[in-house]
Structures are given as C-alpha cells and as structure tokens.
C-alpha cells in the first residue's frame, strides 16, 4: 500500500512565496495563477489557480499512515493557528492518499486504521481532511 499525506493550499490570488514566508516551510510544489510549466509530455500547461503544496516524502514506501501524520505534525505544529486563516486562500486542506495495488482479486475494499494520536493531530490542524483512495487492479484480472 502506498500512502502520502499532503497539505494543499490554493487560491486565485494566492501568493505562494508569501505562504512560505508565513509558514516558514518550503513547499514541494508552488505556482501562481497563470504561471506556465512544461508537462512530462512536453505540453505547456497554464495554472488555473495559485497552489502551495507540502507532502510527506517516503521514497522507500515504508511509512505507515501514522508515520506520515507525525511528519505533518512535526513540520506544521508551530503554524496550526495560522493554517485556517492564510491570506488569499480559497481552500486549504490535508489530503491523505492511499493506493492499494496488493488487494486480493475481486476485493474492492481498502481499509486503514488511524491511531488515536493521529486523529488528535488531524483535529488540531484545523483544516478539512480529504481521503483519496485508489485500488489498482492487477492487469491479469
């Protein structure tokens, strides 16, 4: 199971550099509305909104959901009071994404358990929580 936890901040008038200065955290992704970038397929993409994202990095794919949430806490605990009131933000939330590629054939459910500590951490952040869950079906099904 692959797990990621991402703090996303977006808004039409969002100033990503300003968000970085307020939170004192460097994002993994940031862009202004109207900024252009080149996709992996070499297409030019224009951002439809401003974006600031930080995610819990796990190149080894060994961290549990609780490990990722503890990283979120250690990175943003100093700024919990700031997160719900950032300037020019249309939406800010935490996305917990789980990709299950190991499910049994025909099994369409994906489950995870949040510890009491993780539940408290997420509540203290003061933002909405989005759970994004994918189950990739093996090609031989």
Cα 9 off chain centre by? 9
Does residue 33 lie within any of the structural domains? Answer: yes
Residue 10's pLDDT is 97
- The total domain count for the chain is 1
pLDDT tens digits, residue range 1-13?
789 999 999 999 9
CB 24 within 8 A of CB 17: no
Confidence of residue 57 (pLDDT cuts 50, 70, 90): confident
Does residue 96 lie within any of the structural domains? Answer: yes
Range of the domain at 7: 2-135
Does residue 140 lie within any of the structural domains? Answer: no
Query: Cβ of 98: how many Cβ atoms within 10 Å?
Result: 18
Report the candidate in 3, 19, 6 with the shortest Cα–Cα distance to residue 58: 3
pLDDT tens digits, residue range 100-118?
876 555 566 778 899 999 9
pLDDT tens digits, residue range 33-46?
999 988 889 999 99
**Rounded Cα gap, residues 123 and 73, in angstroms:** 11
**Rounded Cα gap, residues 62 and 122, in angstroms:** 21
Does residue 47 lie within any of the structural domains? Answer: yes
Does residue 141 lie within any of the structural domains? Answer: no
Residue 111's pLDDT is 80
Does residue 26 lie within any of the structural domains? Answer: yes
């Amino acid at each position: 199971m692959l797990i990621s936890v991402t703090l996303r901040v977006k808004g039409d008038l969002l100033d990503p550099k300003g968000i970085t200065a307020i939170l004192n955290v460097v994002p993994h992704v940031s862009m202004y509305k109207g900024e252009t970038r080149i996709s992996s397929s070499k297409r030019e993409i224009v951002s439809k909104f401003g974006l600031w994202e930080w995610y819990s990095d796990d190149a080894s794919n060994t961290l549990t959901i609780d490990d990722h949430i503890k990283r979120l806490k250690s990175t943003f605990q100093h700024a919990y009071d700031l997160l719900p009131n950032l300037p020019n933000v249309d939406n800010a939330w935490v996305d917990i994404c789980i990709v299950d590629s190991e499910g049994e054939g025909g099994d369409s459910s994906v489950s995870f358990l949040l510890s009491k500590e993780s539940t408290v951490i997420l509540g203290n952040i003061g933002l909405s929580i989005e759970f994004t869950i994918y189950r990739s079906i093996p090609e031989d099904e």
